[in-house]
Amino acid sequence: MPHCAASSPDNGVAAVIVSYHPCLDTLKKQLDRLRTQVQAIIIVDNGSCPDLADWLHAQGLAGVEVLALQDNQGLACAQNQGIAWVRRQMGLHDVLLMDQDSLPAADMVQQLLRVRAQLASQGLRVGAVGPRYVDPRQDNPPPFIQIQRLRLKRHRCQPEHLPVAVDYLIASGSLIAVQTLDIVGDMQEALFIDYIDIEWGMRARLQGFAHFGVCTAHMEHALGDAALSFGRRKIPLHSPLRHYYHFRNAIWLYQQPWVPLNWKCVDGWRLILRYGFYLLLAKQRRERWRKIHLGLWHGWRQRMGRL
């Protein structure tokens, strides 16, 4: 089994990084921070960097495993490919999912493992634990999200030392046991991108697993391609193509009978607000209108996969 560095801890954690035309400087920072926190690292590249292995060797990171896909098969497929690799390695029993531009704090993995062990000692069946992340373009860390009845509750880590029960976590930074993945199943590849972490999180909760945000675990993570100012807030903004997947996958998920009705209502109302916000205030309105409505139609017809 490849090890990412001589100083790698023997903690059974493998980082699965999905890359697609990554900024190499940021990727190098991420790898430098991860290789002292996890036992192994695999990068699953979605058809964008044929020379990534050579670049890693030149950076002195030859121990990082690279799985180069022939083309862009989607985030969920790439995550599943990385998870499958971890399953084949002896001594690895935890998966740390990472986006290519997320920068973990020096003790992020240690904090995730510590809190998960504490929760498990209380008899809780823990599905995933994830860090509190900071988007450098926003003033405050985004809160952890939980839906209670017909209300969306935002937890802002007060007090900071207590973990927060959540409905789901963003994929990047999530620590999940391979044993849990064996029970719940892997990521839903038909979604391609967007709502993947939400769908898996709710599917795990349906099988009795609880998810927790770990306020003492920190990570830098940029959500969206840009940030659009709206009053005092800065709203993450994706490309029109990402809006296609976002709206399509939301409509697909609302049609699944196992998804709780209150969650559908709360998320559906948020989707309506996003619809108005994107079409009234964002640029490329015509292209966004086309992609959003195509996504709505495909979601209703359950036409999934890559556009």
Q: What is the pLDDT of residue 205?
A: 95
- Give SS3 for 3: coil
* CA neighbor of 196 nearest in space, from 261, 139, 128: 128
Rounded to whole angstroms, the Cα distance separating 292 from 55 reads 38
Q: What is the pLDDT of residue 225?
A: 64
Average pLDDT estimate for 60-87: 94
* CA neighbor of 39 nearest in space, from 113, 92, 111: 92
Rounded to whole angstroms, the Cα distance separating 268 from 69 reads 34
Answer for the pair 24, 55: CB distance below 8 angstroms, yes or no: yes
Residues 6+ apart with CB under 8 A from 295: 243, 244, 245, 246, 247, 248, 249, 251
Q: What is the pLDDT of residue 232?
A: 65
What backbone torsions phi and psi does residue 192 show, to the nearest 5 degrees? 70, -65
* Of 90 and 187, more confident: 187
Q: What is the pLDDT of residue 226?
A: 64
Q: What is the pLDDT of residue 222?
A: 77
Query: Which residue is associated with the tokens 């903690």?
Result: 11
> Does residue 192 surpass a pLDDT of 60?
yes
Q: What is the pLDDT of residue 224?
A: 63
Q: What is the pLDDT of residue 228?
A: 66
Rounded to whole angstroms, the Cα distance separating 259 from 273 reads 21
Q: What is the pLDDT of residue 5?
A: 47
Domains and their CATH numbers in the chain:
13-220 (3.90.550.10), 226-301 (no CATH)
> Does residue 171 surpass a pLDDT of 60?
yes
> Does residue 231 surpass a pLDDT of 70?
no
> Does residue 52 surpass a pLDDT of 60?
yes
pLDDT digits (tens, 9 = 90+) for 82-113: 999 999 999 999 999 999 999 999 999 999 99
Give 7's pLDDT tier (boundaries 50, 70, 90): low
Q: Which amino acid would we find at residue 245?
A: Y
